[in-house]
Structure 1
Amino acid sequence: MSDFEHRPGVKEATLVVRNLRLTGVDNKNSEALMAEIDKLFGIDGVIYNETTGTIYLAYDASHINLEGIEEVIRKHGANIHDDWWTHTKESYYQFVDQNIKDNAEHQPQSCHKPPPGSKKN
């Protein structure tokens, strides 16, 4: 896939796919929750599976992180499932998201170019 096959602002190199179990999602808040998450800049796709209670997210980690998405989830009366495995995945996702964001902002240096102020003779 190329960057042209994703939503605006989503780059293939920083695209991540996440899945987390949610609690507190019902018929009243599920559509509003999914619609608001889907409108966030950097989201490439969001799906909620009602039978398993799992949300599937695809987003550009250089523009948005899991914490911002969790705020929207809590705003609608839902929350991340409270079990060991879900918390482990959530912590790992946050670590990787921060690493992707830091690497996207990093300006690489070359050790082969001369230092500033030196002249070639």
Structure 2
Amino acid sequence: MCDFEHRPGVKEATLVVRNLRLTGVDNQNLETLKTDIVKSFGIDDVTYNEKSEVIYLTYDASHINLEGIEAVIRKHGANIHNDWWTHVKESYYQFVDKNIKDNANHQPHSCHKPPPGSKIS
């Protein structure tokens, strides 16, 4: 895949796939919940499995993080499931998302370049 096969602002190199179990999702808030998440910059795809109550998210971790998505979920009356495994996955996702964002913003340094302002060519 290449960057052209994703929504605007989503880069293949920083694309992540996440799945979390939710509570409080019903027919009344499901569509508005998905629509609000999709409107966020950096989201590539959102699907929800009603039988297993799991939301599947694909997004660019350099533009958006899981905390922002969870805020939208809570705004619509739903929440992340309160079990041990979901909390472990959520913490791991947050850790990885932060590393991806930090690495995307990092400017590499090379010791083999002359210092700025020197007249060495």
Normalised TM-score (structure 1): 0.96
- Mapped to 2, the partners of 1:29 and 1:115 lie a distance apart of 57
- Offset at 1:116? 2.7
- Mapped to 2, the partners of 1:117 and 1:63 lie a distance apart of 34
Superposition CA RMSD, Å: 1.1
Whether 1:86 and 2:80 are equivalent positions in the alignment is no
Whether 1:101 and 2:101 are equivalent positions in the alignment is yes
Secondary structure in structure 1 of the residue aligned to 2:85 = helix
- Number of corresponding residues: 121
- Mapped to 2, the partners of 1:120 and 1:44 lie a distance apart of 46
Whether 1:58 and 2:58 are equivalent positions in the alignment is yes
Runs of 4+ residues over 4 Å off in structure 1: none
Normalised TM-score (structure 2): 0.96
| Identity in percent | 80
- Mapped to 1, the partners of 2:115 and 2:29 lie a distance apart of 58
Q: Which runs of 5+ in 1 are unaligned?
A: none
After TM superposition, the structure 1 = structure 2 runs for residues 1-121 of structure 1, keeping only pairs within 5 Å, are 1-120=1-120
Q: Quick one: which amino acid aligns to residue 36 of structure 1?
A: D
After superposing the two structures, state which structure 1 stretch, 12-21 or 108-117, moved more: 108-117
Q: Quick one: which amino acid aligns to residue 13 of structure 2?
A: A
- Mapped to 2, the partners of 1:117 and 1:41 lie a distance apart of 39
- Mapped to 1, the partners of 2:47 and 2:71 lie a distance apart of 17
Q: Quick one: which amino acid aligns to residue 115 of structure 2?
A: P
- Offset at 1:105? 0.5
Q: Quick one: which amino acid aligns to residue 81 of structure 1?
A: H
Post-superposition CA distance 1:64-111 (Å, at most 9, x none): 000000000000000000000000000000000000000001100111
